[in-house]
């Protein structure tokens, strides 16, 4: 039985729908952060940090005695994707949408805050509402904030909803859990010329054609293999759309993906080597974007979540392979915190993440609230009053 009343669940669902209606993309989460801060204040947080790493918000709920610090993280940002939906609360901002479920993740943590009106027996709980997860810069910005040492947790937990898995199922995986990824932008510059005299210029075209063939060939293995690597061509542009100019500039974009950070380092080195090999006579520049480290779940933190989920009689799924998609939550574990990303089923026939018709399933709000409340009780204990 959930720790939330039906009235509380209804209020959380209503808030989720309103957040869904007003998405703000990475780095622009001003109004979303303001609203979250207001709710946390109303729910009696002992301390509030605002403007963390941009527009991040964190709330502290202190136990009655000293003890470990638990952090639960969710995301504030939506996506620059046009929503195609018939729901009454579809996005009111054309071209932007909460099409990954961050609206539901936020409200799930507010549900945890409702339960924290009764403080844990010891330690403290930090609820972190992180900006700019979708671009991979938000977690690092939080860690770089000079106030982070005041927050630094012993344990950190987060979750993501997973379309394609049974509704409410809890997915667990110690070790590698989400892939590392990064965007590689390659800018090539030669010399333009008249299309009637291409020999008087230097076109990036041949080098681009070769790179578009060899960069995807860096892909190796299958997800779950330590050697897994995926190199995906995502964009190419050569010159201007004319007939009178032999082009002098070109651009290629590739997404690199691997199961571990060490494998990513090797993949990056191999990709850079191919660019050097294929671009003789051209000026070549490489820029990196959307850099996500791998998420590696701590064994102890994962076991705590497994024990709590089992006690609550949730359906458990031992994930055989990591998620291919990336999450910047891994940066918290890289700071020495015992962290675990959990995966909660959104329904087997649910639209996929980032689809234009995706919508977070409201039924997950009390499920996640109970799971996180159980983790708090397991580590910090229940107050006697």
pLDDT tens-digit series, residues 289-333: 999 999 999 999 999 999 999 999 999 999 999 999 999 999 999
Q: What is the pLDDT of residues 68-117, one digit of tens each?
A: 999 999 999 999 999 999 999 999 999 999 999 999 999 999 999 999 99
In tens, the pLDDT along 39-58 reads 999 999 999 999 999 999 99
Strand order in the sheet with 229-238: 229-238, 249-258, 180-189, 283-292
| Position 347 pLDDT exceeds 60 | yes
Nearest to 317 by CA among 339, 345, 340: 345
Q: How far is residue 184 CA from its own chain's centroid?
A: 19
Task: List % helix, strand, coil for the chain (3-state, nearest 5).
Answer: 30, 30, 40
* pLDDT confidence tier of residue 62, bands split at 50, 70 and 90: very high
Whole-angstrom Cα distance, residue 44 to residue 301?
27
Q: In sequence order, what are the residues at sequence separation of 6 or more whose Cβ sits closer than 8 angstroms to the Cβ of residue 143?
A: 53, 331, 332, 335
Q: For the segment 119-147, what is each residue's pLDDT rounded down to a tens digit?
A: 999 999 999 999 999 999 999 999 999 99
User: Which residues share a beta bridge with 62?
Assistant: 124
pLDDT of residue 2 exceeding 80, the answer is no
pLDDT of amino acid 335: 85
Q: What is the mean pLDDT of the chain?
A: 97
Question: Which residues lie below 8 Å from residue 149, measured CB to CB, with a gap of 6+?
Answer: none
10 Å Cβ neighbour count for 338?
Answer: 20
Residue 111's nearest CA partner among 266, 261, 254, 5 is: 5
Where does residue 311 fall: left (phi above 0), alpha (psi -120 to 50 degrees), or beta otherwise? alpha
Give yes or no for residue 385 having a pLDDT over 50: no
Q: Region 217-239: what's the mean pLDDT?
A: 96
pLDDT tier at 171, thresholds 50, 70, 90 = very high
Does the pLDDT at position 223 exceed 90? Answer: yes
Q: Is pTM beyond 0.85 here?
A: yes
Could you give the domains of the chain? Answer: 6-177+294-380 (3.40.630.10), 180-292 (3.30.70.360)
Closest by CA position to 46, among listed 113, 145, 137, 142: 113
Residue 27 confidence class, pLDDT cut points 50, 70, 90: very high
**Inter-residue contact 83 to 99 (CB < 8 Å):** yes
């Amino acid at each position: 039985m959930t720790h939330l009343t039906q009235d509380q669940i209804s209020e959380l669902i209503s808030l989720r729908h309103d957040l869904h209606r007003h998405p703000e993309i990475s780095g622009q989460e001003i109004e979303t952060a303001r609203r979250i801060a207001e709710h946390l204040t109303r729910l009696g947080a002992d301390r509030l940090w605002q403007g963390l790493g941009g527009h991040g918000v964190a709330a502290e709920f202190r136990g009655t005695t000293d003890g470990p610090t638990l952090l639960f993280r969710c995301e504030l940002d939506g996506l620059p994707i046009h929503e195609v939906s018939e729901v009454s609360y579809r996005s009111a901002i054309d071209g932007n949408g909460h099409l990954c479920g961050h609206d539901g993740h936020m409200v799930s943590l507010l549900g945890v805050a409702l339960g924290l009106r009764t403080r844990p027996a010891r330690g403290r709980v930090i609820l972190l509402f992180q900006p700019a997860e979708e671009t991979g810069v938000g977690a690092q910005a939080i860690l770089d904030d000079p106030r982070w040492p005041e927050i630094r947790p012993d344990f950190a937990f987060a979750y993501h909803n997973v379309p394609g898995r049974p509704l409410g199922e809890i997915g667990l995986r110690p070790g590698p859990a989400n892939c590392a990824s990064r965007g590689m932008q390659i800018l090539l510059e030669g010399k333009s010329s008249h299309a009637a005299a291409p020999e008087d210029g230097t076109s990036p075209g041949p080098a681009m054609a070769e790179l578009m063939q060899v960069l995807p060939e860096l892909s190796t293995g299958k997800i779950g293999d330590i050697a897994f690597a995926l190199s995906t061509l995502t964009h190419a542009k050569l010159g201007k759309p004319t007939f009178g100019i032999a082009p002098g500039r070109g651009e290629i974009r590739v997404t690199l993906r691997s199961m571990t950070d060490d494998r990513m380092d090797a993949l990056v080195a191999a990709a850079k080597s191919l660019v050097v090999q294929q671009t003789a006579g051209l000026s070549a520049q490489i820029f990196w974007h959307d850099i996500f480290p791998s998420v590696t779940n701590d064994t102890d933190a994962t076991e705590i979540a497994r024990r709590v989920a089992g006690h609550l009689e949730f359906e458990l799924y031992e994930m055989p392979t990591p998620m291919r998609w990336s999450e910047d939550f891994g940066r918290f574990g890289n700071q020495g915190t015992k962290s675990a990303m959990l995966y909660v089923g959104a329904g087997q026939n649910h639209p996929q993440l980032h689809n234009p018709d995706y919508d977070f399933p409201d039924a997950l709000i009390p499920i996640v609230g109970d799971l996180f409340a159980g983790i708090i009780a397991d580590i910090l204990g229940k107050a006697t009053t």
